[in-house]
Structure 1
Amino acid sequence: MSPLSGISRAKVLLRALRSRNYRLFVAGQSVSLVGTWMQQVAMSWLVYRLTDSAMLLGVVGFTSQVPTFIFAPVAGVFADRCNRRRLLMLTQALAMVQAGLLAAAVMLGVVQVWHIVVLSLVLGVVNAFDIPVRQSFVVEMVTEREDLGNAIALNSSMVNAARLIGPTVAGLLVATVGEGICFLLNSASYLAVLMALAAMRIEPRPGKETPRRRIHHELKEGFLYSFGFGPIRSILLLVALMSLTGMPYTVLVPVFAKDILHGGAHTFGFLMTAAGCGALVGTIYLASRGTVLGLGKVIVFSTCLFSVGVAVFAISSSMTLSLAALVVAGFGAMTLVASCNTILQTILEEDKRGRVMSFFTMAFMGMAPFGSLGAGAMTKVVGPRITLVIGACCCLAGAFVFAKNLPRIRQMVRPIYARMGIVKEVAQGMETAAEQPQMPKEKE
């Protein structure tokens, strides 16, 4: 490969970084996300060390994520109404305080399980507002609309690059100086993203002013918009199924690390890092794509890969095989989520962006606590292996249904781009475009 071709590929891979605001966002988030992953790993290990209970792992996972299910739709209304940058600065500051309180409790030696549960609930409420706003804010940071898909993929790449570093560092720190330092470093890391947000220059959002109505009216409008159009509905349901039945494998990783692979905090960190490696490869693959054509088929393939990875991890008693299985699972999960995110962001209307992304957040993050709680309870009855195998089978069934409906989804999306005159974006897998189309007015 010539140096020029390498430079060209790098330009394609990083093309969203030509937007100044997005560069600032990447710089700040890259630091903050490492701290976030450190806290997540340290908290899981702390709970299992204090309680030796898979059920309580599920409870903590439930309390940290169930607020998303409750509050994300309301957050979507605020994301469509308010200044998204200011909302993000508020949520990031609150998350910094939460991490500082958790660090203080651990380092002072007074931490109890109920402290962790309460603080997890606080962080869950903060994230319920932060995630939909952050997802909606991406389009404001990217000046070139055709770079939107690349920006979403790069954002996922940041998450998973941090996932490589955070769990490994957390495993080493937990084994040497304890969990408290991980929480302290996470609290400090939020300063980076706060400074980045403060330095941005954001143009006012385009579009005419619309009168504000009651929140429940706007929620109803967003719901009908999201679930009244087949492609959006199919994506949301598939993501929700994966989050409910497949993603709970993450809360059971400490059980596998300690009881099945007979390891410690280092083993846990390596397993989480393996999943992060696969996820990072998946997001780099998506970022390197020069087009969004064919993402429907990518969704089906990645869901199948995720299912196989989780199932193999469930039955494995070998550290090597478990690491390989989590690489596959991580690749499948993140490729699925990022592909779905890209399609949604390219077909929805701007004045409903926050609400649609809140339902996406609800499907991805909001369903996870029910899966975590169910997996923790189910593990006590049938064991962790069977629990994960059942979840993998459910995800595989979802991939089959989505694949069966893909031709119909294709037909429903095509008229949007025909009316917009975007003939070059007629896909073989699922049509999307770099422009913002208007949703068709006819019913299914």
Structure 2
Amino acid sequence: MVSSLRQRNYRLYFFGQLVSVMGTWMQTVAQSFLVLDLSHSGTVLGLSTAARFVPILLFGPAGGLYADRHDKRRILYATQTLSGLLAAAFAILTATGVIRIWSVVMLALALGFVNVFDNPARQSFITEMVPPEDLANAVTLNSVAMNLARVFGAALGGILVAALGLATCFAFNAVSFVAVLASLAAMNAAMLYPSRRVKQRKGQIRAGLAYVRETPGLLIPLLMIALVGMLAWEFPVTLPLMASRVFGGGAGTYGLMTSVMGAGAVVGGLVSAARAKLRARSLCLAAIGWGVAITVAALAPSLWTELVVLLFVGYGSITFNSYAKTTLQLTARPEMRGRVMALWGLAWQGSTPIGGPLVGWIAQATDPRWSLIVGGVPTLLCGLLALPALARVDRRALAAASETSATPGAERAAVSGSA
């Protein structure tokens, strides 16, 4: 379940990320309620959330190519430092009372440009800290760290917003990036498993896109991720509106809902990490279960019922997400991994500029419950529709593995006969 933590470099990275992402979730809670305080609009909340992901939508593949060409650890030094500075800017503007919607959007856009380079480098760097046999476990445990951070970060964020104000959450996030920078500095470079860097040539982004288009084991999961990321993974928009308009709560209620969902995700992550083998069709089964859970969460009659269901929503979210990332990491060729993971970021987060405002508008125009339904039902349907295709991918992979394992035996037999 935790085999990848035996690797010292990955262990440092894991705990550094845990601290940093706690700060990020504290900022997420604070930013959502900052926007609602300034605008009183679900649509504006969706637009401000989407602004962070517009650069990924426009430039995500270029960031992936940059990661394939350069030292990923050095990229992370730069991107994590810039992220900390932007969080500090949020804190100062909020504390001084000069923050406005336009400045929230501009800071979110700036963070999005940082994430264009940070996301593919951070995701593909995992493969350089562990041997191949620990990769699936490392990817899943990384998702566990994200959700452990969500549990504690969102809960602390809700408490700090109520007790000390919004600016405190932004300040804590700024300081939390020190943990990541310290973990990178403490790594032993000799214990890394660096991938071969891609030499600069023309048409490499197009080559990455063509590679994905011709590889069903990559294309189908990425299409699923794009749909689910656009409609279902909009919880920074849907949960604040559910907390305030359906259940009559505030930042504390939102923090509690996010923490409960994160707790379910931690359990799901540990179960996923313990799996010895992962098949492509497992992603479809995860999508089906997650879609059902999101739809049931939309119909919950009370806050306590909602909290129980959100445990299963969290379980489904990390199962789907970790299966998706693991499938892509294991299927992609090493020299294409940065570009493939950039497309994961484009599909998962770059779809938010479309989905965030759409989901926010649906919640504003109708009822926040519908903002969950339009995520849950399509997630369920895409799992059902993709299941036959990914089952074929599994059968081809099994046949190829059988041929590979049979060949050495045949060669040994031939050698024995000739002797």
Range into which the TM-score falls when normalised by the shorter chain: over 0.9
Tell me, yes or no, if the aligned pair for 2:198 and 2:335 is still in contact at 8 Å: no
Task: Tell me which of 189, 211, 230 is aligned to 1:225.
Answer: 211
Aligned pairs for 1:304-343 (under 5 A) are 304-343=288-327
1:357 aligns with 341
Aligned match of 2:183 in 190, 196, 216?
A: 196
SS in 2 for 1:157: helix
Corresponding residue for residue 153 of structure 2: 166
**Other-structure match for 1:246:** 232
User: 2:65 is matched with which residue?
Assistant: 77
AA of the residue aligned to 1:413 = A
Give the length in aligned residue pairs: 406
Corresponding residue for 2:167? 180
Q: What residue number does 1:426 align with?
A: none
Structure 1, unaligned stretches of length 5 or more?
Answer: 1-12, 424-444
CA 422–238 in structure 1, closer or farther in 2 if over 3 Å, else same: farther
1:15-94 pair list within 5 angstroms: 15-94=3-82
- The residue number in structure 2 matching 1:109 is 97
Alignment check: 8 A CA contact 1:71 1:129 kept: no
Is the 2:245–2:368 Cα contact (8 Å) retained in structure 1?
no
Candidates 277, 282, 286, aligned match of 1:298: 282
Residue number in structure 2 paired with 1:149: 136
Q: Secondary structure at the match of 2:81?
A: helix
Alpha-carbon distance, 1:279 to partner: 1.2
CA contact (8 A) 1:231 1:413 kept: no
Unaligned ranges ≥5, structure 2: 408-419
TM-score, L = length of structure 2: 0.93
Q: CA deviation at 1:416?
A: 4.5
SS at match of 2:189: coil
Q: Distance in 2 between matches of 1:280 and 1:94?
A: 28
* Post-superposition offset of 1:275: 1.2
Q: Secondary structure at the match of 1:44?
A: helix
| Equivalent pair of 2:29/2:251 in contact (CA under 8 Å) | no
The answer as to whether partners of 1:62 and 1:369 remain within 8 angstroms in 2 is yes
Match of 1:429 in 2: none
> Which string of whole-angstrom CA distances, capped at 9 and with x for unpartnered residues, describes residues 213-264 of structure 1?
13xx000110011121111111111111111121124412111111110112
Q: Kindly tell me: are residues 229 and 47 of structure 1, through their superposed partners in 2, closer, same or farther at Cα, counting changes over 3 Å? A: same
CA contact (8 A) 1:248 1:368 kept: yes
Q: What TM-score, normalized to structure 1?
A: 0.88
Note the C-alpha offset of 1:205: 6.0
Structure 1 position 316, deviation (Å) = 2.2
SS of equivalent residue, structure 1 residue 111 = coil
Q: Once superposed, what is the RMSD of the aligned Cα atoms? A: 1.8
Q: Mean Cα displacement is larger for which, 359-368 or 195-204?
A: 195-204
**Structure 1 residue 198: deviation in Å?**
1.4
For residues 284 and 68 of structure 1, the distance between their equivalents in structure 2, rounded to whole angstroms, comes to 29
2:379 counterpart of 1:391: no
CA distance in 1, matches of 2:296, 2:195: 49
Is residue 213 from structure 1 mapped to residue 201 from structure 2 by the alignment? yes
Q: Could you give the per-residue CA deviations for residues 61-84 of structure 1, whole angstroms, max 9, x where no partner exists? A: 110112111121001101110010
- Please list the CA deviations of residues 343-382 of structure 1 after superposition, one character each: whole Å capped at 9, or x if unmatched: 2211211111101111111111111231111111222333
Q: Residue 410 of structure 1: CA displacement?
A: 1.6
| Among 120, 125, 143, the residue aligned to 2:113 | 125
Code of the residue aligned with 1:252 in structure 2: it is T
The alpha-carbon deviation at position 206 of structure 1 amounts to 5.9
Q: CA deviation at 1:31?
A: 1.1
Seen in structure 2, the aligned counterparts of structure 1 residues 69 and 352 have a Cα distance that, compared at 3 Å, is same
> What displacement does 1:404 show?
2.4
- The equivalent of 1:401 in structure 2 is 385
Aligned identity (percent) is 35
Cα distance change, pair 18–126 in 1 and its aligned pair in 2 (3 A) = same
